[in-house]
Amino acid sequence: MAALLAAMTLLTFSQVVLRYVFNSGWVWSLEATTYLFAALVLFGISYGVRTRAHIAVELLVNRFPKRTRRYISLFAIACCLAYALLLLYGSSIFVQRLYILGNDARDVPLAKWLLTATMPVGFMLLASRFVQSGWKILSENRGTDDSKAL
């Protein structure tokens, strides 16, 4: 993620310098920055789940007994996993159709399917993080009622 952010920053900075200092620029820089940003977001989502940096609404859930919190956490993970798998399926079909059509990106000299392949990869990583979170709740709490994985 740091490499993607650095590439975006350097590309945008060089584009600004080229445009305002040399009255020139690269045609492909905006599209390349857009694809880099999309990849950063898609990979960042799974990192956010891993580090528990996502938004959690615990005001109501914390009022329940620990055993009930565990079931609520597992239900929430199941819903998030279903959503991630649905997006993985849809994005895989999208990339497959782009591959079959053979479309190229508008300005970047690469096949569009190659640039959008970060979508299914990102959602696969997200789904794996939800599976890990669910497994952590199931394995750590077999003998206790505490649930802190989500």
Domain presence at residue 148: no
Judge contact between 145 and 66, C-beta under 8 A. Answer: yes
One-character DSSP codes across 23-52: S---TTHHHHHHHHHHHHHHHHHHHHHHTT
Domain presence at residue 105: yes
15-44, pLDDT tens digit by residue? 999 988 898 888 888 899 999 999 999 999
Domain presence at residue 23: no
| Amino acid 25: pLDDT | 84
| Amino acid 142: pLDDT | 61
Q: How many domains does the chain have?
A: 1
Domain presence at residue 55: yes
The pTM of this model reads 0.79
126-147, pLDDT tens digit by residue? 999 999 989 998 887 565 544 4
Q: What value does the mean pLDDT of the chain take?
A: 87
For the record, the structure tokens of 89 come out as 């399926």
The whole domain housing 47 covers 41-140
